[in-house]
Structure 1
Amino acid sequence: MTEGAWTLEPATSRLSYVSIKAGEVAEANRFDRLSGTVAADGTATIEIDLASVNTGVDIRNERMRDIFFQVVDNPTATVTAKLDPAAFAALAVGQSISRPLKGTVSIKGAQSDIETDVLVTRVSADRVTVVPTAPVIISTDMFELTDELGELRALAQLPSITPAVPVTFTLSFSRS
C-alpha cells in the first residue's frame, strides 16, 4: 500500500458509530467529513471534522457539536498509526490482507490507544480500502467526556446514554 504516499478519498470513506439511549434505543450516527494521508514511511493520519457529526436529528447534531465535542475549541479528532510498508507491498489488485492495527485517537486534547484488525483490499493499482474486521469500542472515559455525556443526557431528559459505542469505518485511499 505504501509505494509512495496515499490520500484518503472523502467521498468513498465513512466513519460511523452506534449510540444507545434509554438502555435499548440504538441509533446509527456518522461523521460526514474525513481527511487523511498515509506517508511513504507508513505514517498514517486521519482527521475527523467533529462539526460534521450527523445523528439524523438537527438539535442532537447541535448539542453534539456545542456541548459534547465543543467544536469551536476542538474542531477535529485525529487518529494516527504507523503501518509496515512491507506488509502491503506485494498486495495484488483484488487481493486482501488482514493485519493488526494499533493507533492513537486524540479528542479534545485527550489521547487513547486503540487496537483492531483491519482488512486491506487493493481495489486497483492506485486504490485501496481499509475496513475493521470488528467494530472498535470507544468510551467516553477514554477521552474525559463523561461529564459532557451527562449534560447531553440531562438536556434530552433521558434515563441513560450508554458511554461506550461501537465504531466502524470504511477508508478508501488513492495513491498521491
Structure 2
Amino acid sequence: MKMTSTTALALVAALSATTAFAGGHANWTSVDAQSSVGFASIKNDSFGELHHFSAVTGTVSEAGALNIAIDLSSVETNIDIRNERMIEHVFQAGAATATLTGEIDMAEVSGLAVGDTALVDVEGTLAFVGIETDVETEMLVARLGEDRVLVTTADFILLSTEDLGIDAGIDKLMELASLDGITRVSPVSIRMVFEK
C-alpha cells in the first residue's frame, strides 16, 4: 500500500535522510526546531488552508534502525477550536503519536559529500491511529556538513484519508463546521534536519 497519511510523510522524510548517514559512529537525531511537516486542505472546494505538526522527532542508528515519531496533538491549523477538533475526531486523542520504523541500507548513499544531494527511494512501516501500513516515497537528501543532513520531499506527496481510516473524523469536522466538503486527498511537504 502506498503512503496515505499526512503524518506518515513527516516520518518518511526522516527515513530517507538516513542513507546519507553512513560512516558515523553515533545515532543521528532530528533537529526539532528546523524540522517540520506541512499539509494543505481545501474546504467547500474553494478555500485553501495550510497546516503543520510542531512536534516531530526521530533517530537513526549507525546500523540503520529508524525510529520517527510525530505528536499528533501538536497539529497547528491556526484556529484553536479546529486544532482541538482534529485531535479529538481525526487523530482520536488516545492514539496521540504516529510512528515510522524501518531498516535502512546505510551504504546506499555512503559517498554523499558535503554540499551534494541525492534522490532516495525509501520504505518503512507507519503506525497511525491503530492502522499499520507500508510507506514508499522519494526524498531529496542534502549533506549540509559532516554531522548535518537536510531531508525534504522531492515533490508534493498526495495523501488519502480513506486508506488510513480517518474519513469518519473528516465527516465529523464537516458537520461541526457546517461545511459541504473537506479535501480527502492532501498535498504534503516535509523538511527535516538530522545531526549527530
Query: Would the TM-score normalized by the shorter structure come out above 0.5?
Result: yes
Tell me the SS of whatever aligns to 1:88.
coil
What is the one-letter code of the residue matched to 1:63?
R
Cα distance in 1 for residues equivalent to 2:37 and 2:159:
13
The correspondence of residues 12-161 of structure 1 with structure 2, limited to 5 A, is: 12-71=34-93, 73-161=94-182
Q: TM-score, normalised by structure 1?
A: 0.93
> 1:82: Cα distance to partner?
2.9
Q: Tell me which protein shows more strand as a share of its residues.
A: 1
Cα distance in 2 for residues equivalent to 1:106 and 1:164:
19
* Runs of at least 5 residues in structure 1 that lack an aligned partner in the other structure: none
Q: Deviations over 1:80-131 (max 9, x none)?
A: 3332101222111111111111222221111222321111111011000111
Compute the RMSD of aligned alpha carbons.
1.2
Query: Identity over aligned residues, as a percent?
Result: 36
Aligned residues: 174
Larger RCO: 1 or 2 (CA < 8 Å, sep 6+): 2
What is the one-letter code of the residue matched to 1:171?
M
Cα distance in 2 for residues equivalent to 1:58 and 1:21:
17
* Runs of at least 5 residues in structure 2 that lack an aligned partner in the other structure: 1-20
Q: Deviations over 1:41-68 (max 9, x none)?
A: 2222210011100001111001011111
Q: TM-score, normalised by structure 2?
A: 0.84
